[in-house]
Structure 1
Amino acid sequence: MSVDIDLCYMPATEIAERIRAGSLTAKRVIENSLMRIAAVNPKLNCFCSVYSGEALLIAEELDREAKAGRFRGPLHGVPFAIKDLTPTKGKRTTLGSYAYADWVPDHDAPIVEALKAAGGVMLGKTTTSEFASSGFTESPLLGITRNPWNPDRSAGGSSGGSAVAVATGCVPIAEGSDMGGSVRVPAAFCGVVGMKPSFGRIPFTILPSEFDQLSHFGPLARTVADACLFLQVTQGPDERDVQSLTVPQNFLAPFDTDLTDLSIGLCLDFGRRAWHPEVEAAVRAAAGALSEAGARVENISLPWGLELDELWLKHWEVYLATFFGHTLKTHRAKMDPELVRYLDNGLATSAVEFKSLEIARTSAWRNHLAPILSRYHALLCPTMARPAVPLGGSDASYWKVDPDGTYHCLDVTAPFSLFSMCPALSIPCGWSSEDLPMGLQIVARRHDDRLALRIGATVEQRMPWAHRRPGV
């Protein structure tokens, strides 16, 4: 049996509908996905573990239930993948590090429980940078994950494995985690949808602390509708996460793509950032599509430059040192050198210095982002300042300021992670002359995830992308 490439790229929503209607079986879907993984993974390294036998047994059980008219939920028979940062019961979870190379959790994270309870079939675990610390999915333990549009380019990170798995049709949906852009960065580089929902939208319980405010789970998908399906199934509340939002949203309700009621700010005057010209043109084209849909789109500016990226990095270093600094004693020599620097810097940061970061964050919110989001329903900007870059880089190596103040950066995601209550969605908005995807970032008002998705769905309707497939 050969791979059915059209089935590989079938949306999760359609797979679920066809299984429910009896025109497709879960076993056929899972068999096809497993064959696709076998073809793609040796080339791109997106999966670090695959559970073929177990997945097929589950699929057969789901088919028996479907034949009897019983369906577990809206994902009945739909394959999905989980990032190898997220605990999965009885299955090795490495966090991309030799320090956890042999860890086998005794529980599923709530997000895994939710996807399974909805009838989804977990096919495997996807690659991550070590402790999800980098925007490049390259780790000493799991190796290099390559971009499906050009294997010499980065897939982004740290959820690069999940983005590649979705972009290549191995699975229609995959889980990622996002603390500074780790869902949005690979989504932009790989040409898929990726969302950092409002903080607390999806319960997050995988850290020793329940009081961090950088950490999010989010979907990677090929369509906005599939991202919505993922969010519908995985959102809280959940008492295990004290910060999970208590009021769910209906992500399955249709979107009104007449945007005459919306005002949107287009932010390309952004801390003197230098944009790749094709990225800027693609973002302007998406803004034009939204204007044609009735939205009032106006140019706005933000003064945030290198200083806010450095502020986020200081927070990130303390985060990593707090949760993973203990591994230096036993595994320093086997760790990513950039991660080691982060951990050492975080361990050397005083409590007062760390707490003082909140003062600068407060100023940036009160004086800059809050006034914009009070005047506009959402903000548009690039997700990444340029298309996918070569393998082997590091995030901060792209942070350069010219003598005239021009700021050359890579991601435009980390600053918005400092204001985590605001949802941030990345969607494809074009392909470069080198056939590399480019991403549009949509940042909406606090907790209004559906608004960001509505804007994304409108761009998708007018500038569709799901028909594009990498050559792998």
Structure 2
Amino acid sequence: MTDLPPILEAGAARLAAMLRAGDVSAVEIMQAHLARIEAVNDVTDAPITAIVSQRDPDDCIADAKQADAALTEARASGAPLPGLHGLPIAIKDLTATKGLRTSRGSPLYADFVPEADAPLAAALRGAGALVIGKTNTPEFGLGSHTLNPVFGPTRNPWNRGRSAGGSSGGAAAALAMRMLPMADGSDMMGSLRNPAGWNNVIGFRPSVGRVANGASEGDLYLHQLSTNGPMARSIADLALLLDAMAGYDPAAPLSFGKRDVFAPGLASEAPEAWAKGLRIAWLGDWIGTWPMEDGVLETCEDALKVFESLGAEVTPFVPDFPWEKIWDSWTELRSWSVAAANLPDYADEARRAHLKPEAVWEIERGLAMSGLDVHRASVARSDWHRCLEGVFDRFDLVAAPSAQLWPFPVMDRWPAEIAGRKMDTYHRWMECVLPASLSGRPTVCMPAGFGKAGGPGAGLPMGLQLMGRTRGDMEVLRAAAAYETACPHMTARPADPV
């Protein structure tokens, strides 16, 4: 495999340190990543298409020059600079970015250019990040497969005939191909975890409220299923980006916490010690409830042996809770939330005709619900929270695969079946992410390994989810940092297109 320039392999935390030490300039960082995007994003007859709606490269270089000038002034004055100063990022195409097209993967918004940044985009710019474009997503983020009619599919860098996952599939593929040193994403039903697992990178779903979910209009209280979060190739990079995203914001009344706590809190000369004594519950396939493609469970169980080698104890365990109660609660709350977010487009018949069938299905389910239907679903969610509190009296982490099958053919809308079992919805194949999604608990997806030759996942990546206690984000990341020290797959990258 061809070696890449050190700038592209360094990652966000290392680049930030090099920039402050004067070992590299923001312009050099920007030029290297723009050249990488030009070389691999949209070439060959099977383009990856991870980054979309790119800014003019000259404007990006101009931003980098300003970042270098600000760094020179800061050195002279001793003034501090924000953590992401001078680092390039492309923001997920669901997040509004001032002056930069935000399509949401929908033909209805294919030419939409927001007049203001969403809170997340504003926070990243405020932390010094240089926005160079957007990362691809499925229409409205619906479905763990990045395929939309505006930009087409994001292809898996490990096999360009397969899905990169979603809805943060563009972000994960860009990281895997070293087009970006870090990336943001969002996670409702595994959208930070599934693509991370399928691209051999890290995705972190923070506790709901850890990253402020504010808005200038509309509801701030009811819809708490989704959260923004970071993606990266190392825990140090992940923590640096999370510090820029996290913390209480008065515009988001249910947000909590402080900024700039994770990177300092994870600084350690012996992170492997954080795994010693950990008690990990392994959900497996929930006693046969979740259909699994051959090799998925075995790959994740091999990954769990890394924890055992570091002194953790892994125990097969399934909570005493009816699975269909979790599924029914999730699907009702999700449809209600999707309907609320997209009702204006559905209510206009001309615009409705441009919505994908999965969006229409979700919206119509949500519209059919009564207030008491939503209440009952929320009570079931509350019961699941109470059950998990008991689970975490016995365990420190709960582990599960990040998906129930290996990356599937890229032009399929979703898998029709797994292991001979028919899928009755477009998202049933992602049941394994719901224990964390419904509870709002912090969950990281770490690289678990690759499918074995001769199997359905030959050469393809899989991820391992690690869910922690309520608001136990730091503890989850410390466990992940320990795993990182002994995992043999962390730095593997896909081959360049030919």
Query: Shorter chain as normaliser: what TM range?
Result: over 0.9
The Cα offsets for residues 267-303 of structure 1, whole Å up to 9 and x where unpaired, read as: 2151522333422122212222212212232221135
CA shift in 2, pair 1:392/1:305, >3 Å: farther
Cα distance in 2 between the residues matched to 1:318 and 1:149:
36
Q: Does residue 323 of the first structure (1) align with residue 341 of the second (2)?
A: yes
Q: Does residue 468 of the first structure (1) align with residue 468 of the second (2)?
A: no
Q: Which residue of 1 aligns with 2:121?
A: 112
Q: How does 1:83-232 map to 2 (within 5 A)?
A: 83-206=92-215, 208-211=218-221, 212-232=223-243
Q: Does residue 432 of the first structure (1) align with residue 456 of the second (2)?
A: no
CA shift in 2, pair 1:401/1:444, >3 Å: farther
Equivalent residues of 1:127, 1:162 under 8 A apart: yes
The Cα offsets for residues 121-153 of structure 1, whole Å up to 9 and x where unpaired, read as: 111111111111111111122321111111111
Equivalent residues of 1:270, 1:304 under 8 A apart: no
Cα distance in 1 between the residues matched to 2:333 and 2:415:
14
- How far did 1:16 drift? 0.8
CA shift in 2, pair 1:386/1:318, >3 Å: same
Amino acid paired to 2:292: W
Cα distance in 1 between the residues matched to 2:143 and 2:418:
14
Amino acid paired to 2:381: R
Equivalent residues of 1:201, 1:245 under 8 A apart: yes
Structure 1 window deviating more from structure 2 (207-216 vs 27-36): it is 207-216
Equivalent residues of 2:244, 2:259 under 8 A apart: no
Equivalent residues of 1:98, 1:331 under 8 A apart: no
Equivalent residues of 2:408, 2:415 under 8 A apart: no
Amino acid paired to 1:313: T
In structure 2, the gaps of 5 or more residues are 423-427, 453-457
Equivalent residues of 1:140, 1:336 under 8 A apart: no
The Cα offsets for residues 307-366 of structure 1, whole Å up to 9 and x where unpaired, read as: 533432222111111110221223222222222222222222222212211222233333
In structure 1, the gaps of 5 or more residues are none
Q: How does 1:334-413 map to 2 (within 5 A)?
A: 334-367=354-387, 369-394=388-413, 397-398=416-417, 409-413=429-433
- How far did 1:118 drift? 2.2
Structure 1 window deviating more from structure 2 (379-388 vs 309-318): it is 309-318
Cα distance in 2 between the residues matched to 1:271 and 1:332:
41
- How far did 1:88 drift? 1.0
The Cα offsets for residues 241-285 of structure 1, whole Å up to 9 and x where unpaired, read as: 111114557211225422334222122151522333422122212
Equivalent residues of 1:260, 1:295 under 8 A apart: yes
- How far did 1:400 drift? 8.4
The Cα offsets for residues 372-393 of structure 1, whole Å up to 9 and x where unpaired, read as: 1121111111111222111234
CA shift in 2, pair 1:91/1:346, >3 Å: same
Secondary structure of the corresponding residue to residue 120 of structure 2: helix
Amino acid paired to 1:333: A
Q: Which residue of 1 aligns with 2:36?
A: 36
Amino acid paired to 2:27: K
Q: Which residue of 1 aligns with 2:283?
A: 267
- How far did 1:87 drift? 1.2
| Count of aligned residue pairs for this structure pair | 465
Equivalent residues of 1:204, 1:216 under 8 A apart: yes
CA shift in 2, pair 1:41/1:153, >3 Å: same
Q: Which residue of 2 aligns with 1:257?
A: 272
The Cα offsets for residues 216-257 of structure 1, whole Å up to 9 and x where unpaired, read as: 001111111111111112111110111111455721122542
What is the RMSD computed on CA atoms of the aligned residues? 2.3
Amino acid paired to 1:316: R
Aligned residues with identical type, % of pairs:
32
Q: Which residue of 1 aligns with 2:65?
A: 60
CA shift in 2, pair 1:401/1:270, >3 Å: farther
Q: Which residue of 1 aligns with 2:54?
A: 50
CA shift in 2, pair 1:99/1:402, >3 Å: closer
Q: Of residues 438, 444, 452 in structure 1, which corresponds to 2:468?
A: 444
Amino acid paired to 2:395: Y
Secondary structure of the corresponding residue to residue 270 of structure 1: coil
Q: Structure 2 length as normaliser, TM-score?
A: 0.88
The Cα offsets for residues 169-219 of structure 1, whole Å up to 9 and x where unpaired, read as: 010111111111111111111111001100111111257321111120011
Q: Which residue of 2 aligns with 1:21?
A: 21
Cα distance in 2 between the residues matched to 1:28 and 1:304:
54
